[in-house]
């Protein structure tokens, strides 16, 4: 699951639900420290990325705490989130969208995607963006966005009101990464985690060659280029 430290690009730490922490060269980037993640999920970040406005991905208090703890920290997100924060942190909150590229605390980031997956036709569809970090790892937020470039590591939203197992499996096959790490699993207990571990692993119909992995909150792995 991990790689030799001499061939690493990023250290990835799973946080609660949909949040991950990426570290390299003494800098830290955090994605989606929302309301289902740890209270301190954003603390220590030099850069924060938010995929969309739903509270399990965007928690204003967690982001404010991170920005206040580090006066040099900055946020990159879509307009619906940026508008709620930019007044409190002028010049430190950046609006981005599909096709944009930028550097955040030494990490190279690409933006892919535009819309949240459909939950139900009666529920308005909101905007959602995903982030490819250092050309290596892709976090799609709440969508099954296929990035317009190959990625080695896919952070897979494994369980949500808007998806089902067949869609999740076909998404992995379409993206065709070398490896998958589950995210968006905060609503699953041990039985649910075991089910997806089996169905996306050796007990299932096959991911098209992608190695499926699960991390508990607080566990880390080193990702090779």
Number of H helices, E strands in the chain: 4, 14
Per CATH, which fold does 10-209 belong to? Metallo-beta-lactamase; Chain A (3.60.15)
Give the pLDDT score at 8.
52
- Percent of the chain at pLDDT > 70 equals 96
Residue 224: band (very low, low, confident or very high) from pLDDT cuts 50, 70, 90: confident
Distance CA 97, CA 101 (A): 9
Is the confidence at residue 215, as pLDDT, over 60? yes
Burial letters 161-199, b for 16+ CB under 10 A, else e: ebbeeeebbebbeebebebbbbbbbbebeeeebebbbeb
First vs last C-alpha separation in the chain: 14
Q: What is the pLDDT of residues 11-21, one digit of tens each?
A: 999 999 999 99
Q: Which two tokens stand for residue 98?
A: 């599909």
Mean pLDDT, the chain, as a whole number? Answer: 95
């Amino acid at each position: 699951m991990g790689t030799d430290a001499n061939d690493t690009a990023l250290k990835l730490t799973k946080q609660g639900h949909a949040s991950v922490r990426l570290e390299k060269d003494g800098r830290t980037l955090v994605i989606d420290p929302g309301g289902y993640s740890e209270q301190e999920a954003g603390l220590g970040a030099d850069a924060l990325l938010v995929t969309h406005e739903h509270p399990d991905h965007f928690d204003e208090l967690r982001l404010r705490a991170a920005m206040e703890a580090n006066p040099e920290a900055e946020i990159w997100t879509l307009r619906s989130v940026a508008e709620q924060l930019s007044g409190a942190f002028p010049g430190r909150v950046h609006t981005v969208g599909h096709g944009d590229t930028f550097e955040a605390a030494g990490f190279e980031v690409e933006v892919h995607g535009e819309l949240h997956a459909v939950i139900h036709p009666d529920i308005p569809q909101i905007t959602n963006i995903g982030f490819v970090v250092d050309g290596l790892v892709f976090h799609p937020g709440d969508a099954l966005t296929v990035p317009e470039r190959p990625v080695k590591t896919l952070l897979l939203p494994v369980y949500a009101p808007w998806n089902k197992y067949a869609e999740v499996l076909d998404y992995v096959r379409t993206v065709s990464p070398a490896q998958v790490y589950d995210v968006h699993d905060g609503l699953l207990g041990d039985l649910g985690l075991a089910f997806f571990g089996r169905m996306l692993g050796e007990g299932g119909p096959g991911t098209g060659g992608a190695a499926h992995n699960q991390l508990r909150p607080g566990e880390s792995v080193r990702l090779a280029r």
